[in-house]
Structure 1
Amino acid sequence: MTEENKDKWWFPLYEFGVHIFIGVVIFVLIALPAIGLNLWIKSLEGTVDNIIIIGLVGVEYLLFFVDILLFVIHVVRTSLKAGKALWEQ
């Protein structure tokens, strides 16, 4: 973007939209392995020891909850940054 566009009133909204879109893409890319892990665990049930299944389920939940937490932090920080930029204009 040119310096001229950065002074426009809509630029913080544009930047917010781009950051949220990229955040959603990253969220999905991290959530997909958790979904794949879930499917793999379901196929392993009954063939491996229960303690291994419990460990894998724990890893699956940890991965997904950390992904959600980081996505929420990203949305809040991006929202605050966009709000501040709009307020300053």
Structure 2
Amino acid sequence: MYIYILTNPTKTVLYIGVTNDLTRRLSEHSSGRGDAGKFTGRYQADLLVYFELCPDVTQAITREKQLKGWTRSKKDALITAFNPDWNTIDLETWSG
């Protein structure tokens, strides 16, 4: 299971999610770009800047809830520690 954070081009919005297939889920977010009925579409938040693996769904959901409860500054620090320049992560070429 993956916990992931997406942002928009101006890095003003963060979206936190959980999935068992990160590649598929990113594709779903990208295909909904501009869809005003969905958070990621409305705010164009489809740029992956952070992810982590969890061994099972229960731990992943617990971690997602934890991250969602954090302040923006704490989330920013987490992303920066993992991805200092907040570059969009391409899963095929990411070396961490």
- TM tier, shorter chain? under 0.3
The structure with higher relative contact order (CA 8 Å, sep 6+) is 1
**Rg: which structure is higher?**
1
Q: Select the structure that is richer in strand.
A: 2
TM-score by length of 2: 0.24
Which protein is richer in helix relative to its size? Answer: 1
